[in-house]
Amino acid sequence: MNVGMLLDMAADGYESRVAIGSLADGVSYDGLRRAAGAIAARVAGSDAATIAVTEPNGAIVPATLFGAAWSGTSYAPLNYRLPEPALAELLVRLAPAVVARADWLDPSAPLPAGFPDEPERPAVLLFTSGTSAEPKAAVLGHDQLLAYIFNTVEFASAEADEAVLLAVPPFHIAGVAAVLSSTYAGRRIVPLPRFTAEEWLEVARAERVTHAFVVPTMLARIVQAMEEHPDARVPTLLHLAYGGARTPAPVLERALHLFPDAGFVNAYGLTETSSTVCVLGPDDHRAAHESDDPAVRARLSSVGRAVPGIEVRVVDPEGRELGPGVSGEIRIRGAQVSGAYVGQGSRVDTEGWLVTGDRGFTDTDGYVFVEGRGDDTIIRGGENIAPAEIEDALLRHPAVSAAAVVGLPDEEWGERVAVMVALRPGSTAAPDELRAWVHERVGSLKTPELVAIRDELPHTPTGKILRRQVRAELAEERER
């Protein structure tokens, strides 16, 4: 199969509906199909294996995704903020590749001829964010992406007035998945080329946005902006999905309070799994929020349950399955799971299970709790410490806007707990005050021995905290 069929069906089914842009001057599904055809025509007869996009969100993004599918080449969205030499290096790894240009888009081009039913090349090549290592290009096949869409989205399920605010960049898996699922559902995409909380709120209001997906750093900034500007509200918002990394509980609690009428959706997924594999839906959020049962309340910090077609299990270091409530490594299996990389081995075992590298556990009803990357677990004097609990405690301090807890190598303890925090503008807090705050909430074992204060934490272009850089900076600071 070919992901081009999603756009083909959409254009046949609701051709004049706006696919992307404003209601007044956006591109229709029919126009998007023609633009995709125009892009496919550009590479027809060339030796290009990949069509890259090096621009922020806009019509060029879905047009190139589907244009590549139409021509049987791979779509590779790249980080447009990278300096020229770094971009050139990525393009070499994808060669022979061409970069799509805005002037290739022609929504009035003739209707394109059919796409290959069984394209030889994969649909999408996506560089992973590499929070702990160099980025790798994940390979996502047509059948894998379609398995995700067919298992989770019903065709034409969106109402005519629905619109999704696309704020994650095109080179994030959620940016790829949003294009596919919105197209299939018939939900208008409102692209946000560059994220700021103020812009997000303003565009969401002006475009009467009903759906949105944000990564935790975006959610934290939106919450902060709304608290500072009580009239900045988005009354049309029905669904607010968040994911991409663990969302700190204090940020989520504030968001639930600020969007009382929106349904919250926590999505867990990896680039390698073609986006979402677990979902905590609006009903789960409500039940957890209102319940007196601690086990049900705890689910607010879970990522929900596996989506149809996906199996999740938690294993020990020897690969043996662990029971409910026991932490281990999370493994995932299903038709949407890839695990393959350009020029490297696969991370899927012989039975089809993807080794995620994430630590977590399940409860007796199958709710999945993700504790973080396995590499991020701190082992101090033989005790496993998850950074999440300490970070959540710090984020409840009124002056703290972001926190990253890491382990630093230590001869006596194996590792010691250290933290880098960013403070809210205009706020102050001394390191000793923050240490006392954490000590009071999570105990002495988990109290950071080093507290460094910064204006901002280092993060990837997709909003994940760069823990290896935090670790390196803190190690250097300790030496001084």
Partner 1 sequence: MANLLGKRYTCPVCEATVLVTKPGDGELSCHGQPMEVLQAKPLPSSD
Site string for partner 1, 177-196 (x = CB under 8 A): xx--x---x-x---------
Q: Which two tokens stand for residue 301?
A: 């910090």
Q: Which stretch binds partner 1 (CB under 8 A): 192-200, 260-268, 325-333, 390-398?
A: 260-268
Q: How far is the CB of 168 from partner 1 (least distance, A)?
A: 8
Of 181, 172, 163, 136, the closest CA to residue 56 belongs to 172
Residues in the chain: 480
Q: By CB under 8 A, name the one of 3, 7, 8, 67 that touches partner 1.
A: 8
Q: By CB under 8 A, name the one of 87, 93, 150, 439 that touches partner 1.
A: 150
Q: How far apart are CA 26 and CA 207, in angstroms?
A: 12
276 in contact with partner 1 (CB under 8 A): yes
Q: Which stretch binds partner 1 (CB under 8 A): 51-59, 111-119, 198-206, 261-269?
A: 261-269
The partner residues of 465 in beta bridges, in order of sequence, read 459
- Please give the order of strands across the beta sheet that includes 310-315: 310-315, 328-334, 354-362, 368-373
DSSP letters of 10-63?
A: HHHHSTTSEEES-TTT-EEHHHHHHHHHHHHHHHTTS---EEEE-S-SSTHHHH
5 in contact with partner 1 (CB under 8 A): yes
- The answer to whether 3 and 180 have CB atoms below 8 angstroms apart is yes
241 in contact with partner 1 (CB under 8 A): yes
Positive or negative: CA dihedral 381, 323, 347, 354: negative
Nearer to partner 1 (CB atom), residue 275 or residue 356: 275
Q: Which stretch binds partner 1 (CB under 8 A): 133-141, 192-200, 245-253, 269-277?
A: 269-277
251 in contact with partner 1 (CB under 8 A): no
267 in contact with partner 1 (CB under 8 A): yes
144 in contact with partner 1 (CB under 8 A): no
Q: Which stretch binds partner 1 (CB under 8 A): 151-159, 253-261, 331-339, 472-480?
A: 151-159
- The answer to whether 243 and 213 have CB atoms below 8 angstroms apart is yes
325 in contact with partner 1 (CB under 8 A): no
- What does the CA dihedral 80, 50, 3, 464 come to, rounded to 10 degrees? -30
Q: By CB under 8 A, name the one of 96, 113, 130, 154 that touches partner 1.
A: 154
265 in contact with partner 1 (CB under 8 A): yes
CA distances from 418 to 386, 391, 392, 410, 453 (A): 12, 11, 14, 11, 11
Task: Point out which residues bind partner 1 (CB under 8 A).
Answer: 5, 8-9, 12-13, 150, 152-157, 164, 174, 177-178, 181, 185, 187, 211, 213, 239, 241, 243, 263, 265, 267, 269, 275-276, 279, 281-282, 307-308
